[in-house]
A and B are shown apart, each in its own frame.
Chain A
């Protein structure tokens, strides 16, 4: 699970172009949206692309994303459950 989280962080950094960040800058339970990393609704769509491209998981309703993408923890948990 912790491998998944590390990989996820690298993928997030790449997909969202967070050029100045390294995986160690992203805490597992830190909020990704709003104040956290300052991600927005466009990033939420990028997350959907990330999930499909890397984990073959399809989310067809973008409003579902809010809960799933809350943090690296919630994202990893969702992937574990749905892969």
Chain B
């Protein structure tokens, strides 16, 4: 069964929608800068320069929620634009998130510690499942709601689960993707891992030191052919392959040879009925940590051998948007297919000594891009790959 993609939406530090994002990608304009708010002021982050109130107003959001939920609503609404709720089309929403409502909970918990005006009511936004319900409510979706929470592979896994539910005849159309807002919890967490770069991150560069955090949301609409005939939406691209595999090496570090990553790429190719040489562009996970980029490079070499397609990480543009990354990068992948884009890997100077690989360095368009492979790897050795193809 062909899984058609009939909508996409995203918001991140490089743009409030797809059009703005492409502008930034084209001119090499990163969204990462020194944080404006206290908790972030020591770090370079890819923050969205709208407050929650501004998000609600600008995007006409009617449902209350944490920042994670609000960002998700923005992106999901964009994706679902032009679609209608129908009795004949069983529609679900699957969102990946790691932060959930922690942006609100952490503030409330501080009040609890300080014994000031602690209000337990405010924890109602906390759970990740609730953020998805709020996004679903904003879109008027009630047939099915789910939340996948597997750290940085969450959105890719949401996409995969949506596709499988369509294939299993359980849903006709699903809005899938992910969202994560900036929070002190995650900033402090990554600080404790000593995994930040004080400077702008350098994916796949020999001198890379770590990541820059980001926030954002990215969603796509997928539907069966039967559903598409009813929704009358144009098929923009096809979700042709997906996979999830476990590295089983360490709770946070990836295996040196990228075994889990290799497995997920090979399985996704297999499901898509493609050979490695059919891939025209890889949107890498590429967080710019010493560990990930080496591990992922090795895995890419293991799968593609000598003939490695153009590849890049777009995280030096958006920052690492954690659970949202797979969703945002799925949108980039769709746009690459439709417009023949190749995205540049910013801040690169020297290949990693062990691999000698050089990523795509400039923005290109009108290339023949028929198949894009996108990787998202999460803590717990959770490795996911999706493949998007031209119609």
Residues of A within 8 A of B (CB): 40-42, 45, 48, 60, 62-63
A29 to B30, CA, bound (A): 49
Measured between beta carbons, the chain B residues less than 8 angstroms from A48 are: 194
Measured between beta carbons, the chain B residues less than 8 angstroms from A40 are: 250
Measured between beta carbons, the chain A residues less than 8 angstroms from B194 are: 45, 48, 60, 62
B193 is contacted by which of A45, A60, A63 (Cβ under 8 Å)?
A: A45
Measured between beta carbons, the chain B residues less than 8 angstroms from A62 are: 194
Further 11 A-B residue pairs, CB within 8 A, beyond A45-B192, A45-B194: A40-B250, A41-B250, A41-B252, A41-B253, A42-B251, A42-B252, A45-B193, A48-B194, A60-B194, A62-B194, A63-B290
A63 → chain B closest CB, angstroms: 8
What does DSSP make chain B's interface, helix, strand, loop or mixed? loop
Measured between beta carbons, the chain A residues less than 8 angstroms from B250 are: 40-41
A44 → chain B closest CB, angstroms: 9
Measured between beta carbons, the chain B residues less than 8 angstroms from A60 are: 194
Residues of B within 8 A of A (CB): 192-194, 250-253, 290
B386 → chain A closest CB, angstroms: 29
A77 → chain B closest CB, angstroms: 23
Which residue of chain A lies nearest to B194 when distances are taken between CB atoms in the complex? A62
A43 → chain B closest CB, angstroms: 12
A81 to B252, CA, bound (A): 32
Which residue of chain B lies nearest to A44 when distances are taken between CB atoms in the complex? B194
Measured between beta carbons, the chain A residues less than 8 angstroms from B193 are: 45
Which residue of chain A lies nearest to B210 when distances are taken between CB atoms in the complex? A62
A19 to B290, CA, bound (A): 32
Which residue of chain B lies nearest to A49 when distances are taken between CB atoms in the complex? B192
B11 → chain A closest CB, angstroms: 33
A48 to B251, CA, bound (A): 19
A41 to B252, CA, bound (A): 9
A40 to B320, CA, bound (A): 25
Measured between beta carbons, the chain B residues less than 8 angstroms from A41 are: 250, 252-253
A53 → chain B closest CB, angstroms: 13
A7 to B41, CA, bound (A): 37
A31 → chain B closest CB, angstroms: 18
Measured between beta carbons, the chain B residues less than 8 angstroms from A63 are: 290
Interface pairs (13), CB distance under 8 Å: A40-B250, A41-B250, A41-B252, A41-B253, A42-B251, A42-B252, A45-B192, A45-B193, A45-B194, A48-B194, A60-B194, A62-B194, A63-B290
A42 to B252, CA, bound (A): 8
A41 to B193, CA, bound (A): 10
A41 to B250, CA, bound (A): 9
